[in-house]
Amino acid sequence: MINVLHFFKTYYPNTYGGIEQVIFQICEGAAQHGVNSIVEYVSPSGDSDIECFHHHKIVRDHQFFDVASTPFSISSIRKFKKLAESADIIHYHFPYPFSDVLHFICGVNKPTVVSYHSDIIKQKYLLKLYKPLMNKFLGSVTAIVATSPNYLATSETLRKFDYKASVIPIGIDESHYRVSDKINIEKWRSFLPERFFLFIGNLRYYKGLNTLIDAMGENEDIDVVIIGSGPLDKELKEKVAERKIDNIHFLGALPDEDKNTLLELCYGIVFPSQLRTEAFGITLLEGAMYGKPLISCEIGTGTSFINIHRETGLVIKPSDPKELSNAMKFIWENKDISQEMGNNAKKRFFELFTADKMVGKYVELYKECLKSNK
């Protein structure tokens, strides 16, 4: 039996995001391998006792203040130290600078794993202040995991620690995406165009949605459905209204049942993220699992590990409306080629990106870290 303590700034059921989903998949899958997992996270909702959550446990620490999307908690110091004492492995999820602080304050001397989800991109000036602590933290941990070979090769930070870094691609569980409600399928079929590209994600600055809107101005015969909400929601809708574009359909945030139905019904996935903040792209994984052709941008991250140019879809230059427009037209007009790309994407998904494969590799890494610590 291996006891693992995960630590991150947020988690289910308070928030639902890509990193939270990865942590959940690891904890749930690892339980089948004899791994007991506890996820400790910080929340404005206040402290909580340890609770059972599916097949693992969670505990919440009260958020005292927040700086640059980094919540800090005084209660975490006491609770983390106590939980770390009974854990065999501490599993951090980067970036979260407060983890680094806790690691040293609490004098952690257990085997430690860091899942390196993304470089710090937006807070450039704060990064200069944080970098000495970051490098000391990453230098002190037992193992670092990148989510793709692309990110490991292109991250300036990761390259410094490649001697302790390995790659474990993010995986998702197909069983969580099954669509069985025929009434729901028919509802969406009656509401949406017969064929459409699908975008899923938070409406944020790095997602390339302004480029998508510009591209759609030249594609009057192609429809795009957008699932998600976020800071750019109002701005994007106003832009579409001003340009009188009527083939972009904003649906807002949807429950998983509806999202899964639209993944099944869509013609292809368009994912125009243009900055390295998009470190992987779970939407591309979801599209691949459903056998859809993919469109993404070359930004040196995991998006181009999932989507292989002219094999599983098309990989284009970022922030280029004309190239995105042409890519969408090609996928739209060449059904046989697009179907072949979708089939290739599905095959690649089951070869590399299932939750079982991801979990199995993490469990092996845990065992290796324990052996090396003896």
Buried b (16+ CB within 10 A) or exposed e, 64-84: eeeeeebbbbeebeebbeebb
What pLDDT does residue 178 have? 79
Q: What are the average pLDDT values for consecutive 10-residue runs of the chain, which has 374 residues? A: 97 88 96 97 94 97 91 96 97 97 96 95 82 96 97 95 97 86 91 96 94 90 95 96 95 92 97 94 96 97 98 98 97 98 98 97 97 78
Q: What is the DSSP string of 139-182?
A: HHSSEEEES-HHHHHH-HHHHTTGGGEEE----B-GGGG----H
- Its domain, for residue 78, covers 2-173+354-372
For 122, how many CA atoms within 13 A lie in the half-sphere containing its CB? 9
Is 93 in the same domain as 58? Answer: yes
What's the length of the chain?
374
Task: Give me the amino acid identity at 219.
Answer: N
Is 229 found in the same domain as 115? no
Residues 17 and 114 in one domain: yes
130/230 same-domain check: no
pLDDT of residue 17: 81
132 and 223 both lie in a single domain: no
Q: Both 184 and 94 in a single domain?
A: no
Strand-strand pairing, 51-53 and 56-62 = antiparallel
Tokens 């859809």 belong to residue? 292
Number of domains in the chain: 2
Q: Are residue 185 and residue 157 in the same domain, yes or no? A: no
362 and 236, same domain (yes or no): no
Same domain, 77 and 183: no
Do 133 and 241 lie in one domain? The reply is no
Domain containing residue 327: CATH number: 3.40.50.2000
- Helix (H), strand (E) at residue 99: helix 97-105
Query: How much is the pLDDT for 52?
Result: 96
pLDDT recorded at residue 259: 94
Can you give the pTM of this predicted structure? Answer: 0.93
Q: Are 161 and 83 contained in the same domain?
A: yes
Structure confidence at residue 179 (pLDDT): 74
Looking at the structure, do residues 35 and 168 belong to the same domain, yes or no? Answer: yes
Residue 147's pLDDT is 97
Instruction: Tell me what pLDDT residue 374 has.
Output: 65
The whole-angstrom separation of Cα 274 and Cα 298 is 8
